[in-house]
Amino acid sequence: MRISVTDRCNIRCFYCMPDEQIRFKPRDEILSHEEIERFVEAILPLGINQFRITGGEPLVRNDLPGLIQRIAALPGVEDLAMTTNGVLLADMAEDLHKAGLQRLNISLDGLQEETFRRITRREGLQKVLKGILAAQQLPFRQIRLNTVAIRGITEAEIIPLGQFAREQELELRFIEFMPLDAEEGWESQQVLDGDEIKRTLESAFGPLVPRSRPNPSQPAVDFEFADGRGRIGFINPITQPFCGECNRLRITAEGQLRNCLFSTEEWDVRELLRNGATEAEIRNRLRECVMHKKAGHGIDSSDFQRPERAMYQIGG
Ligand code: SAM
Ligand code: SF4
């Protein structure tokens, strides 16, 4: 279950948010810490035991370590991870770890200032790099880097990022650019195919060997370099859709359940949480949501309909 804790963010990646005129949800529409905790408690008996905190940018949420602590303390929560842009991470990493956060995905689309500026329309690369360094000093169970692969931007970053991941002993995952940008500028020609990235990395660092897949529902296909230095994964929702295996569920910051990033329907949990519903009623709403999951996202079909919400409003 991916829990979005805010639709706000401190940068403006073009593949996710608009640059201006953003209408963030008013605070009273966003689930409180206590409501999120009650939701998690209610769904744990369904066997949902892996959680990821996301957004918007989770680190801009008020007292995030406090929320992590509440979730981590619930019996049955086996895995607690977070995805962040890393800008505020240097100062918060220790508190997050102490609160019970186990794993961290940090977004890093390139190592050049110009790439960061072009994508995020803000400054901050050095802060992100400091954030990565700070996280590495702590015993997180796993730290991964996420790179959105965009044709015309990412090509020049593939080898430097590969090198960085090898040197820092961090796992690096490339994610194909999906049509979830708020400005609706996505075009299929902008998708940089994971296989092409793999060939570029292999030409620089030697063969990539597939790793075993302990969890068949994971969207990424993971490899390691034959010399044992560095791990690389590919999430290829466009060129190699994995909808048949995907078991990801989402709740938006204002408490709407979604069974797919590309879902055009939502199931309201906030209304239940605010009107004294029982845990069983919350579970039933989630069951209903799962039952309506479609066989595939349909991006390649002629009648594909983009969801009304952009990535920052869903929770990536
Ligand atoms: N703000 C945090 C961050 O950027 O890491 C967490 C939320 S963000 C929506 C989650 C992940 O989705 C990030 O790794 C981001 O790069 C990725 N993402 C955002 N828009 C995307 C898109 N249109 N296609 C593919 N990945 C995207
Ligand atoms: Fe913010 Fe993450 Fe969206 Fe970038 S991808 S604008 S960091 S929420």
In tens, the pLDDT along 68-118 reads 999 999 999 999 999 999 999 999 999 999 999 999 999 999 999 999 999
Of 12, 147, 148, the residue with max ligand 1 atoms within 8 A of its CB, to mutate for a pocket test, comes to 148
147 CA distance to ligand 1 centroid (A)? 9
Domains of the chain: 2-314 (3.20.20.70)
In degrees and rounded to multiples of 5, residue 63 shows phi and psi of 45, 55
* Full-model pTM: 0.97
Cα(95)–Cα(264) distance, integer angstroms: 36
The strand pair at 2-4 and 50-54 is best described as parallel
Q: Could you tell me the two tokens for 299?
A: 């991006």
Residue found under tokens 């190699």: 240
- Does 316 have pLDDT greater than 90? no
Residue 310 has pLDDT above 90, yes or no: yes
| Rounded Cα distance, 19 and 65, in Å | 28
Helices (H), the chain: 33-43, 64-72, 89-99, 113-120, 125-136, 158-168, 194-205, 270-274, 279-291, 311-314
The ligand placed nearest to the CA atom of residue 146 is 1
Give dist(CA 151, CA 221) in Å, integer: 20
Cα(66)–Cα(7) distance, rounded to whole angstroms?
18
pLDDT at 213 over 90: no
Of all ligands present, the nearest one to the C-alpha of 192 is 1
- Give the three-class secondary structure for 257: strand
Q: What is the 3-state secondary structure (H, E, C) of 133-179?
A: HHHHCCCCCEEEEEEEEECCCCHHHHHHHHHHHHHHCCEEEEEECCC
For residue range 164-176, what is the model confidence (pLDDT) as tens digits? 999 999 999 999 9
Calculate the average pLDDT of the chain.
Answer: 96
R_g of the chain computed on alpha carbons: 19
Atom of ligand 2 nearest to the CA of 10: 1
- Using one digit for the tens of pLDDT, what is the confidence trace for 270-295? 999 999 999 999 999 999 999 999 99
Q: What is the mean pLDDT of residues 187-212?
A: 96
Candidate of 13, 125, 306 to mutate for ligand 1, largest count of ligand atoms within 8 Å of Cβ: 13
pLDDT value at 217 more than 90: no
Tokens of 148: 């959105």
Report the pLDDT value the prediction gives residue 91, as an integer from 0 to 100. 98
CA 206 / ligand 2 centre spacing (Å):
32
User: Strands across the sheet with 50-54, in order?
Assistant: 208-210, 221-225, 231-235, 171-176, 142-149, 103-107, 79-84, 50-54, 2-4, 250-251, 256-258, 267-268
Nearest CA to ligand 1 atom 2: 84
In the predicted structure, residue 262 carries a pLDDT above the cut 90: yes
d(C-alpha 255, C-alpha 32), whole Å: 10
